[in-house]
Amino acid sequence: MKRNRTWGQIYLVIVFVILYMPIFYLMYYSFNSGGTMHHFQRFTFEWYKEVFHDPRLLIIVINTLVIALLSATISTILGVAGALSIYYVKRRRAKNLLLTFNNVLIVSPDVIIGASFLILFTIAGIKLGFISVLLSHIAFSVPIVVLMVLPKLQEMSPTLMDAAHDLGANQWQVLTRVILPFITPGIFAGFFMALTYSLDDFAVTFFVTGNGFSTLSVEIYSRARQGISLSINALSTLLFLFTILLIVGYYVISQKGGRLYGEGGRR
Amino acid sequence: MLCTWGRWMMAAMRHNVRNLYLIPYVLWIALFVAAPILLIVYYSFFDIEGKWTIANYEKFFTPIYLKMALNSFWYAFLITLFSLLIAYPTAYFLTKTKHKQLWLLLIILPTWVNLLLKAYAFLGIFGTFGLANAILEMLGIGKKQILFTDFSFVFVSVYIFIPFMVLPIFNALEELNPSLVDAARDLGASAWTTFRRVVFPLTLDGVKAGCQAVFIPSLSLFMITRLIAGNRVITLGTAVEEHFLVTQDWGMGATIAVFLMIAMAVIIGLTGNRK
């Protein structure tokens, strides 16, 4: 039994090494003055300088962040409305129908989402670019927010709302004073997931981005197709650090959010 | 369909103010879920000049496209199988570690690194002078062409999908009541029999969910085929991308997309039936 456990640990270590090796491989060579992803010559910050002195790339980074923040905010609002509507629909069949429609975009392959949105935007006469990318990011983030918020709503005891109504609260007050505070952790989780989905998306964006507009993933793809350039490595190192910061930030916020809610409850 | 939605919304509004929430959400469903699907089906009946035709479907059933479809299914099957073979023991041993949640977080963390960057990293690792070849040389096997082969394509895809397979299996294993395993062992079952007759059947839902999460996206991968397999592997996803963005033959692209959607529905039907 004990020997089994050590074998298990060795297996896990191997899996973890393989999982992280490419990421650290990228980071390691981002400091290589040689310009290739083999044979490390000298330590250099050259590629980082190149990233920061490339105005086109900086504009793309800003585009990506603006799209991510805007789409996450709007899809969180829509997703909360969606979760509330699914929660309020009483008939079982209607509820299941809504949930099925909700999950279509989650299980659909990116290529199909991208292709169908491309047709949609072309027919609707929306110019491919910022607006089309933003709309599609909102569209595929909504169902994730719904799935994050819905369990929180179902956790909530309906007597809470009944009590609020009995005490004379109107619909709006019940929503802002009772429901929203209770589901705040779910909303945060949904927002965060929407943010990461938007930052991470390549395939859908690739279809609807058009010519003038680009996000980081699309830019990385077009650069990587031309071969290896260590400024991509530098960029990916920065992105990885940013991701870790986001995750830490998310944990701090969710911890704090929990505490704030706790205090509110006591008051 | 839209008509039903309309009636629904009216009924909802008469029914209760609460259902005001339905309006933006149902609008979203109509615009971004229902409409795109209908549009894909609609476009699959047009040829490149915009004439109504069923030639696209006839074309799909010619050997070229059937072979491509078969190829995609074969690769998706391989990717799913290898992910499962690697992920199940990983999930199993994870449940046995002390700081489970921390380890699980470490498994999930790489999924937050952009998929393209991971594929790009393998361009370096599998390159002629990369890490993989250096190791092969050290072992005395010598340099090999790794990049732009079927092997590299399957390896990178499995690498990318492992976390998505580990997660549902881990959850299923966590829900498993440990006393069931103890009972089996007490009744004289060997470790292997216990696993085969008790643990695996009880975690089958997790395995199904994992296979679904891996198989469907791997059917339609396209950037990995382009970057890593160097256009050697053409999957249905690559074909859709090519028809829509390169040759501009949207009708044919839409037809392939229709078949992908049907395949998706079948797979969900087979692996679904979760509560």
Q: What is the CATH number of the domain that holds B247?
A: 1.10.3720.10
Residue B51 within any structural domain of the chain: no
- The verdict on A31 touching B (C-beta cutoff 8 Å) is no
Question: What average pLDDT score do residues A124-144 get?
Answer: 93
CB-count exposure of residue B83 (10 Å: 0-12, 13-18, 19+): buried
- Scanning every residue of chain A, which has its alpha carbon at the shortest distance from the alpha carbon of B275? A96
Question: What is the pLDDT, as a whole number, of residue A114?
Answer: 93
Residues B7 and B105 in one domain: no
Q: What is the CATH number of the domain that holds A247?
A: 1.10.3720.10
**B21 and B63 inside one domain:** no
Q: Three-state DSSP class for A160? A: helix
Contacts of B11 in chain A (CB under 8 A): none
Q: Are residues B114 and B29 in the same domain?
A: no
Q: Would you say B198 and B181 are in contact if contact means Cβ atoms under 8 Å apart? A: yes
- A81 pLDDT band, cuts 50/70/90, is very high
- pTM exceeding 0.90: no
Q: Which residues of chain B neighbour A119 with C-beta distances below 8 Å? A: 36, 39-40, 43, 250, 254
DSSP A145: H
The whole domain housing A92 covers 22-30+41-266
Residues 161 through 190 of chain A touching chain B, CB cutoff 8 Å:
171
- Model confidence at A2, in pLDDT bands (50, 70, 90)? low
What average pLDDT does the structure give for chain A? 85
Low-confidence ranges of chain B (pLDDT < 50): 1, 13-14, 274-275
Same domain, B225 and B260: yes
Regarding whether B229 and B116 lie in a shared domain, the answer is yes
**A173, two tokens:** 């007050």
Residue A38 to chain B, least CA–CA distance (Å): 6
Domain assignment of residue A35, yes or no = no
Is A188 contained in some domain?
yes
In a domain, A197, yes or no: yes
- Give the pLDDT band (50/70/90) at residue A70: very high
In B, residues 172-201, which contact A (CB 8 Å cutoff)? Answer: 191
Residues of chain B contacting A98 with CB distance shorter than 8 Å: 25, 29
Note the ipTM here. Answer: 0.82
Report the pLDDT value the prediction gives residue B29, as an integer from 0 to 100: 92
Q: Is A159 exposed, middle or buried (0-12, 13-18, 19+ CB in 10 A)?
A: exposed
Same domain, B166 and B242: yes
Residue A250 reports pLDDT greater than 60: yes
Nearest to A8 among B86, B93, B110 (CB): B93
Q: How many domains does chain A have?
A: 1
Exposed/middle/buried for B62, CB within 10 Å: 0-12, 13-18, 19+? exposed
Residue A254 has pLDDT above 90, yes or no: no
Nearest partner of B60 among B263, B264, B265, B268, judged by Cα = B263
Would you say residue A210 lies in a domain? yes
Residues of chain A with Cβ-Cβ distance to B97 below 8 Å are: 9, 12
Report the gap between the CA of A148 and the closest CA in chain B (Å).
15
A169 is a domain residue: yes
For B157, the domain range is 58-271
